[in-house]
Chain A
Amino acid sequence: MIDIEGLYFNYDNEAVLKGLDLHIDARSTCAIIGPSGCGKTTLLYCLAGLLKPSGGRVLINGEEVKGIRRKTGVILQTNGLLPWKRAWGNTALGMKARGCDKAEIQKRVSDALKELDMLSHKDKFPAQLSGGQRQRVAIARTLVTEPDLLLLDEATAALDAITKEHLQNLLLRIYYQYPITMVLVTHNIEEAVFLGQSIVIMGEGRIRHRIENPCFGDKDIRSKPEFYSICAEVRKRLAEGGVL
């Protein structure tokens, strides 16, 4: 369970988050959507403990976030893979940081790469992988640390349309397979509707609207009329908030 209470964040005296309140249930997904510069990435970084809020607080399972939390996994748009480490080394990095023993690293990394169909690419450097493959390695790297909260910052933004859909399907599968809460930041309406149980619309550092998504979980939803009606509602809310 995530509770964000009166969250403020300033960059060089400019307020990016302006007293933001948000509740996200445990074992649910929440898509945060809004235009560039509305503060959605800053919000995600505050959730991850990567940024210290200027005011207010973030509570995860009742505990205030005061730094990097071991059970939080973060996937960035640029995947954040180290160019000098092979897929295997990148996947194992978080476990090494946690001091896991060799046998455990071997097993969990192998299982995660196999699960994401990347085991045959384990010896490749990120530069030898496609955009989608890199993101799958980034996901594997996060999953091996067994997170209870997965944060995604525009994780599919740099991918082509087909790869984007494959990755969105994969993320949905991961959500059902693992006991995690998923919060994703996106500027893609279709992605927000496909992956968000709740869709939160942000504008100018505040939450403008929240839409509960009745279609969530249906992997074939993209071809159904309900999908487009929710997309239309999100678009309308974005326009109402003056952000479209």
Chain B
Amino acid sequence: MKALLRLGSNRIIRGILLVLAAWYGLHFAVDSNIVPSPHNTLVALFKLVNSGLLLHMLYSLYRITAAVSIAILAGVPLGLWTGLSKRADSILSPVIYILYPVPKAAMLPVLMLLLGLGDLSKIMLIITIIVFQILIAVRDGVREIPGDLRMSVKSLGLSRGQTYIHLVLPAILPKLISALRTCVGISFSILFFAENFATSYGIGYFIMNSWTMVNYTDMFAGITALSLMGIVLFLLIDKAEHKLCPWVFLNESKQVTGY
């Protein structure tokens, strides 16, 4: 009983239980094979994992990881440059504001024509969307560094490189991780769309293929697999945040008072 209570107090488990309850509710309310029951879906999921679904998941994971990594590699330096240099800001910010709201999903056909039908066009589509999130988060993170911290570091005689290591990078890290969370969510949405074109691997392809085959249980198994991938990635980001930014989780109300 104690173990069950402990399990119930875990917020991830609690979330899963709530989703399952809502799913069961919908299943009984619709009363059609369009919404299969969670238990039938989970059984199908376990069977499918051993017969190809894992490969679809790995393909999707590869595309997301590649896109997010490249977006970080491009977005962080550009964000730092825009945040630290007024000249760079005056050049880049107007470009960002023009390109950011453009519906990049509509560019997939163009990207496919330019970069081919393979993974590159799909990865590039995700990058074109999430790189702005990262760039803006880093730029704002740099701008929000308090003036007294800048002065303090300057007075200690830190070099330019040391200022990046000890001041700028730690200051932007919480914002970058927060942006990363948003980027992963967006990446999944856009990947689902991109994997419906010119590929036969990927979780998006698997879901839509199951739908066209009128196999709703497999379709839901694919959606569940997609959710599980999302949960794992979010947990990894949470873990990284706790490890890399421990000061963010300090409870200010527990501060020591007095001399």
A residues with a Cβ closer than 8 A to B are 45, 48, 50, 68, 70, 72-74, 76-85, 93-94, 96-98, 125, 127-130, 132-133, 141, 145, 162-163, 166-167
The answer to whether B250 touches A128, judged by C-beta atoms less than 8 angstroms apart, is: yes
The answer to whether B247 touches A84, judged by C-beta atoms less than 8 angstroms apart, is: yes
The answer to whether B157 touches A127, judged by C-beta atoms less than 8 angstroms apart, is: no
The answer to whether B154 touches A68, judged by C-beta atoms less than 8 angstroms apart, is: yes
Find residues 239-259 in chain B having any chain A CB closer than 8 Å to their own CB: 245-247, 250, 252, 254-259
Question: 25 pairs across A/B with beta carbons < 8 Å?
Answer: A74-B152, A74-B155, A76-B148, A79-B152, A80-B153, A82-B149, A82-B166, A82-B170, A84-B171, A84-B173, A84-B245, A85-B170, A97-B156, A97-B158, A97-B162, A127-B247, A130-B256, A132-B258, A132-B259, A133-B256, A133-B259, A141-B156, A145-B156, A163-B258, A166-B259
The answer to whether B256 touches A50, judged by C-beta atoms less than 8 angstroms apart, is: no
Besides the known contacts A82-B152, A125-B246, 8 further A-B residue pairs in the complex with CB atoms under 8 A apart: A68-B154, A72-B155, A78-B146, A80-B148, A82-B149, A82-B170, A93-B158, A162-B259
Interface assignment of B159: CB less than 8 Å from any CB of chain A: yes
Residues of B within 8 A of A132 (CB): 258-259
Residues of B within 8 A of A77 (CB): 148
Q: Name the distance in Å between B251's Cβ and chain A's nearest Cβ.
A: 9
The answer to whether B259 touches A130, judged by C-beta atoms less than 8 angstroms apart, is: yes
Out of B151, B246, B250, B257, name the residue touching A50 (CB < 8 Å).
B151
Chain B: residues with Cβ within 8 Å of the partner, total of 29
The answer to whether B252 touches A127, judged by C-beta atoms less than 8 angstroms apart, is: yes
* Distance between Cα atoms of A98 and B157 in the complex (Å): 8
The answer to whether A85 touches B157, judged by C-beta atoms less than 8 angstroms apart, is: no
The answer to whether A97 touches B259, judged by C-beta atoms less than 8 angstroms apart, is: no
Residues of B within 8 A of A166 (CB): 259
Given contacts A128-B250, A129-B255, contact A97 B170 (CB under 8 A): no
Given contacts A68-B155, A97-B157, A97-B162, contact A125 B258 (CB under 8 A): no
The answer to whether B149 touches A80, judged by C-beta atoms less than 8 angstroms apart, is: yes
Residues of A within 8 A of B259 (CB): 130, 132-133, 162-163, 166-167
* Distance between Cα atoms of A171 and B245 in the complex (Å): 33
B residues with a Cβ closer than 8 A to A are 146, 148-149, 151-159, 162, 166-167, 170-171, 173, 245-247, 250, 252, 254-259
Out of B152, B158, B247, name the residue touching A125 (CB < 8 Å).
B247
Out of A73, A76, A130, A167, name the residue touching B151 (CB < 8 Å).
A76
Q: Name the distance in Å between B5's Cβ and chain A's nearest Cβ.
A: 32
Q: Name the distance in Å between A126's Cβ and chain B's nearest Cβ.
A: 8
Residues of B within 8 A of A93 (CB): 153, 156, 158, 166
* Distance between Cα atoms of A141 and B157 in the complex (Å): 12
Nearest chain A residue, comparing its CB with the CB of B174: A84
Q: Name the distance in Å between B248's Cβ and chain A's nearest Cβ.
A: 9
* Distance between Cα atoms of A187 and B153 in the complex (Å): 25
Most-contacted residue by chain A among B146, B148, B156, B158 (CB, 10 A)? B156
The answer to whether B155 touches A128, judged by C-beta atoms less than 8 angstroms apart, is: no
Given contacts A80-B149, A130-B257, A133-B259, contact A70 B166 (CB under 8 A): no
The answer to whether A128 touches B255, judged by C-beta atoms less than 8 angstroms apart, is: yes
* Distance between Cα atoms of A50 and B148 in the complex (Å): 11
The answer to whether A76 touches B152, judged by C-beta atoms less than 8 angstroms apart, is: yes
* Distance between Cα atoms of A37 and B225 in the complex (Å): 62
Out of A68, A78, A79, A125, name the residue touching B157 (CB < 8 Å).
A68
The answer to whether A85 touches B166, judged by C-beta atoms less than 8 angstroms apart, is: yes
Residues of A within 8 A of B171 (CB): 84
Residues of B within 8 A of A78 (CB): 146, 148
Residues of B within 8 A of A167 (CB): 259
Q: Name the distance in Å between A200's Cβ and chain B's nearest Cβ.
A: 21
Residues of A within 8 A of B247 (CB): 83-84, 125, 127
Residues of A within 8 A of B246 (CB): 125
